């Protein structure tokens, strides 16, 4: 009887991570209503560098200046269905919801990818650093969650094993009482 309970407990603990992954939240979809009107502060430009992730872009405007454009909560483990994702080398009509840098856009603004342009063959040091950061940032939540699940599973198994050991030891010594 005791072995059956231990096996059931171990099975539940082993199934826990799979269940947690299966019921985890999925990103929401944008709930924009109709086609957005073009803002007075709209401009054209090309993404010359991505920031922490693809929701943050540094855009060279047709006027020649480089400005920051944010399409969501860049670098945070937060995302929504309204986040705008940029492509390196993409030429855009940027339609911000504000008039000052960093310009804010989302899927509900009229920001549009017009096409692709060539990106310099030799990336700058800042571009290489931001790409490494993007890779590390994108895997960090997965690794953190896996580590937490692993630690909790090990602790639960140790607690179950200890409890089984105590019960068998009491039974060997002469039982409780």
133-162 pLDDT per residue, tens: 444 455 667 778 888 899 999 999 999 998
3-state secondary structure of 155: helix
pTM over 0.75: no
Q: What is the pLDDT of residue 40?
A: 79
Q: What is the pLDDT of residue 143?
A: 75
Question: Could you state, in order of their start, the residue ranges of all structural domains in the chain?
Answer: 43-122
Report the alpha-carbon angle 96-97-102, nearest 5: 60
Q: Are 87 and 77 in contact (CB under 8 A)?
A: no
Q: What is the dihedral of CA 140, 55, 90, 136, to 10 degrees?
A: -10
Q: What is the pLDDT of residue 83?
A: 82
Q: What is the pLDDT of residue 176?
A: 57
Maximum pairwise Cα distance, the chain:
88
Q: What is the pLDDT of residue 49?
A: 92
Which residues does the chain have with pLDDT short of 70?
1-37, 73-81, 119-140, 174-177
3-state secondary structure of 115: strand
Structure tokens at 144: 């953190």
Q: Are 88 and 63 in contact (CB under 8 A)?
A: no
């Amino acid at each position: 009887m005791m072995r059956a309970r231990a096996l059931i407990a171990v099975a539940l603990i082993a199934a826990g991570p799979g269940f947690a992954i299966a019921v985890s939240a999925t990103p929401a979809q944008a709930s924009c209503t109709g086609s957005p009107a073009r803002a007075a502060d709209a401009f054209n430009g090309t993404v010359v560098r991505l920031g922490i992730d693809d929701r943050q872009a540094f855009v060279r405007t047709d006027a020649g200046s480089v400005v920051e454009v944010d399409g969501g909560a860049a670098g945070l483990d937060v995302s929504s269905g309204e986040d705008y994702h940029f492509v390196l080398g993409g030429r855009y009509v940027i339609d911000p919801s504000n008039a000052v840098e960093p310009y804010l856009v989302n899927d509900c603004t009229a920001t549009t990818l017009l096409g692709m342009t060539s990106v310099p063959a030799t990336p700058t040091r800042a571009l290489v650093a931001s790409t490494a950061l993007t890779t590390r940032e994108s895997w960090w939540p997965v690794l953190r969650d896996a580590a937490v699940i692993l630690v909790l599973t090990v602790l639960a198994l140790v607690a179950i094993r200890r409890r089984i050991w105590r019960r068998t030891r009491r039974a060997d010594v002469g039982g409780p009482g």
